[in-house]
Amino acid sequence: MPTVPQLLNASLHDVFGNRDAASRRAAIDAVFAEDVAFTDPEGTVHGRDALEEKAAGLLAGAPDSFAFVEDGRLYASEDTGALGWAFGPPGAPVLHGIDVITVRDGVVATLTTFFAEGEAP
């Protein structure tokens, strides 16, 4: 069963940072609960398909040079974790945020994304 840190990293890199639709979807199916709730400043969506739409839309609107990188410490307990990240061209991110997850039965049940104050995609 994956650990909270492994799930945070998979969400960031294998899902939201993955421009290949087929492998991104496989990662979504492996990492997230079927009824996952994803919340960001735009609102909350439910389910893997909606999460896929959010990830695909974010990447489609960003230049190919943009990537996600960890930004700060990773925090984890048995069923909750948080990971700071940055998004943009290497060495010059344009967006900073933090992902907070809750885990149920070895997969992410909820993902909440916060953006740094004053920043928005």
Report pTM: 0.94
Number of domains in the chain: 1
Report yes or no on 90 lying in a domain. yes
Report yes or no on 120 lying in a domain. no
Range of the domain at 92: 4-115
Report yes or no on 77 lying in a domain. yes
- Inter-axis angle of helices 21-31 and 48-60, nearest 10: 140
Tell me which residue of 78, 110, 114 sits closest to 5, measured CA to CA.
Answer: 78
* Of the candidate ranges 16-20, 36-40, 57-61, 104-108, the one whose mean pLDDT is the lowest: 57-61
pLDDT band at 118 (very low <50, low <70, confident <90, very high): confident
Percent of the chain whose pLDDT exceeds 70: 98
Report yes or no on 89 lying in a domain. yes
Residue 29 · residue 17 · CB < 8 Å: no
pLDDT tens across 45-69, in order?
Answer: 999 999 999 999 999 989 999 999 9
Render 46-105 in DSSP notation, one character per residue.
ESHHHHHHHHHHHHHTS-TT-EEEEEEEEEE-SSEEEEEEEEESTT--SEEEEEEEEEET
Question: CATH number, domain at 40?
Answer: 3.10.450.50
